[in-house]
Amino acid sequence: MTAPAVKGPASYFPSIEKKYGRPIAEWQALVIAALPAKHMALVAMLKAEHGMGHGHANAIVAHCLADKQG
C-alpha cells in the first residue's frame, strides 16, 4: 500500500529543502518569529532576505498560517 500523496503547500517542502539547503522547520521558525506580520509581508521577507522564489515563500507562509489558525 502506498502513502497518500502530499497536497497543498506541503507538497513544495522537499524541493524547498533541496534548493535552499535548510529544513522546513527552520523556515517555519523564521515566519513564526515575524508574526503577526501579514501573509504578503512574510512572503516578501523570505524573498528579500533569503532569496526564496515567490511560490516557495508563499507555500511556507500559507502552511504556517494555516497551522496557527487550526
pTM of the model: 0.86
pLDDT of 70 > 90? The answer is no
- Confidence band (pLDDT; 50, 70, 90) for 9? confident
Tens-place pLDDT, residues 26-63: 999 999 999 999 999 999 999 999 999 999 999 999 99
Which positions ≥6 away from 50 have C-beta within 8 Å?
Answer: 20, 30
CA–CA gap between residue 14 and residue 30 (Å, rounded): 18
Domain boundaries, the chain: 12-69
Mean pLDDT of the chain: 92
